[in-house]
Structure 1
Amino acid sequence: MVEQVELGTGGLVVPRLVLGTMAYGRHAADHGARIRTIHAALDRGVTAFDTAPLYEVGRAEILLGRAIADRRARVQVLTKAGLRWDADHGEVLIDAVIDGRRTVVRRDSRPGSLRRDVEGSLRRLGVERIDLVQIHHPDAQVPIAEAIGTLVELHREGKLGAIGVSNFSVAQLAEAHAAAGAVGIASHQLPLSMLQQRAGGALLTQARALGHGTLCYSPLAHGVLAGRGLTGALDAADDRRWLVEFSPDSLAAIRQVVQRIVVPIAARHDATIAQVALAWVLAQPGADAVVV
């Protein structure tokens, strides 16, 4: 079984391995395989699933809801709020051509937006309460206290079990902590991998000092540390092609580091590169769980 950890002090317990659903729901032909993956994870003790309304424009939540419909009591559902692709308020976070269409995603943590996200997630997931709702990205146009206050209200209404944040700075994390009051902040989600360490230390230290749990996403650097990612051979429809990690120069430099440092460690422990990369993240002080 997978080791368990409490996020924050409010009683939310999750395994140290959390299954992410960022690409779930894209192709209808893959739905059966995705559901089988979720069920296989559950059978092995991976009972927490991280999703978001943004992931495949709600389809990931719908697919996750279908997969856990008869297993809800065993599952911790972690979703997010505060990003809109259907409004013109807020700072632009993403402006890219995805699946042949221009997609503009904006930060929007206004009370109405957060409520709309949570209500939509409840409906798509087919649940009465979401275990953890995280503000996906901070919105500079909305005071953090106002955004967190909205989630506190939703918590009091019984629509969510715990509050989290994602991609916050040290100062923003402290502000969110103060705004949450007795409800508290259960977790902060941040990117952390062997290739992306710069922001991790201070944020991990801050979260520990405040009593927050930390969820680490992209522990395999968008798949670069998952073996096949090192070849750079991506499908033409793969959205990762525009990431800097998958540029020829970046991959060449990463290959050298992996061959010189990671491969010998993996060989000594009869492990894969991905296993070493995940173990490294989980070994960092304050890194409670990884989203894979």
Structure 2
Amino acid sequence: MSTTVFRIGGDLEVRRLGFGAMRLPTDPGPDRENSLAVARRAVELGVTLIDTAHMYGWGANEELLAEALHPYPDGVHITTKVGIARSVPSGEWTQDARPDALREQVEQALRRLRVEHIGLLQLHRIDPRTPLADQIGALRDLRAEGKIGRIGLSEVTVGELAAAREITDIASVQNRYNLLDRTHEPVLAACEAAGIAFLPWATVAWGQSGATAEIAAVAAEAGATPTQVALAWLLGHSPVVLPIPGTSRIAHLEENLAAEGLRLTEAQRTRLDRLSGAGAGEGEGKNGEQGNQGERE
């Protein structure tokens, strides 16, 4: 039986099944009120790891979580990501991990989240125009100053992870990964070998799990939903996997978290393991998170 907790960086204890806040609407009105309720319900149900990013609404998602949850209950950790900026002329996003840009985004995150310290901060994308040593070095400096506690990466290769680890300790990796898309299996293997937390996004294959006959069949046998099967498979696949499924509906949130209690048989796991995992290529994940928009409604 897999444990339900993990210590990120060896000491930051979280429940392995977390919550991704990207899907939460932030504009004023009934949808925002619902978003606040979803975030609060997640914590009521025992979620201790909530994922957001500067890019999600350009800070609006961070502010939403602070409105919903601050002062944060003991043991609840909001992890955010920096390193993506919006172009003023076009409105499109691009990597920007220059040290000054990273420092500014961290300062903004501290203000928006209403905290003095972020337990886990992740680099949303490696900036190809800035030396890696400058990017990771800036985060290392922020950690030394006490503004962040642990450093993570997102959408990286095995080689990039290794290069970053030569500069400083890396506590987490957040890559696209699910039962139907295992492009980053080598990265997961590297994380498992090093005890690094692996936070998959697009955890339920953009809601397509139920369209796969084998997953649907296992779900029927187990008395569960295809989504729950996909999440239970992730939890049992590697002890370092910390899924962060996102949704904007309380019913789906409750369905997701119930997957923690689903125990797949060895025979069922074998059948699921045989699925090809042929999903989007690594290049798509490197370029954006458009697919994550359809995670769960």
TM-score tier after normalising by the smaller chain length: 0.7 to 0.9
Residue 133 of structure 2 corresponds to which residue in structure 1? 145
Residue 68 of structure 1 and its aligned partner are, at CA, apart by 1.5
1:102-156 C-alpha deviation (Å, 9 max, x unpaired): 5311111110011011001111111111111100011111122211111111111
- Superposition pairs of residues 29-178 of structure 1, within 5 angstroms: 29=29, 30-86=31-87, 103-178=91-166
Query: Which of 263, 266, 271 is 2:224 aligned to?
Result: 271
Deviation at 1:222, TM superposition (A): 2.4
Aligned twin of 1:261: 214
Measured in 2, the distance between the counterparts of 1:203 and 1:77 equals 24
Query: Does the 8 Å contact 1:137/1:165 carry over to 2?
Result: yes
Query: 2:50 corresponds to which letter in structure 1?
Result: F
C-alpha contact 2:86 2:92 (8 A) present in aligned 1: yes
**1:146-192 residue CA offsets vs partner (Å, 9 max, x unmatched):** 11111111111111111100101100000111111xxx211011111
**What residue ranges of structure 2 are gaps of 5+ in the alignment?**
246-297
Count of aligned pairs between the two proteins: 242
CA RMSD of aligned residues (A): 1.7
Give secondary structure in 2 for the equivalent of 1:60: helix
**Contact 1:23–1:56 (Cα < 8 Å) also in 2:** no
Alignment partner, residue 197 of structure 1 = 182
1:220: how far off?
1.1
Counterpart mapping for 1:235-254 below 5 A: none
Q: Name stretches of at least 5 consecutive residues in structure 1 with no aligned partner.
A: 89-101, 228-254
Partner AA of 1:80 in structure 2: K
Query: 1:266 touches 1:273 (CA, 8 Å); kept in 2?
Result: yes
Task: Report the Cα distance in structure 2 between the residues aligned to 1:187 and 1:24, rounded to whole angstroms.
Answer: 23
Q: Give SS of 2:59's match.
A: helix
- Paired residue for 2:205? 221
Alignment TM-score, normalising by the size of structure 2: 0.77
Name the structure with the higher strand share. 1
**How many Å separate the matches in 2 of 1:121 and 1:25?**
18
Of 184, 208, 211, the match for 2:192? 208
TM (norm. structure 1) is: 0.78
Q: Which letter maps to 1:77?
A: I
Counterpart contact for 2:26–2:35, Cα < 8 Å:
no
Matched, 1:23 2:14: no
Identity %: 34
Equivalent position of 1:247 in the other structure:
none
Cross-structure match for 1:249: none
Task: Summarize the Cα distance change of 1:287–1:74 in structure 2 as closer, same or farther, 3 Å threshold.
Answer: closer
Is the 2:234–2:241 contact (alpha carbons within 8 Å) kept by the matching residues of 1? no
1:8 is displaced (CA, Å) by 2.8
For residues 287 and 224 of structure 1, do their structure 2 counterparts lie closer, same or farther at Cα, with a shift above 3 Å needed? farther
Give a deviation string over 1:25-57, Cα, whole Å, max 9, x none: 443221221111111111111111100011012
Deviation at 1:203, TM superposition (A): 0.4
The structure with higher relative contact order (CA 8 Å, sep 6+) is 2
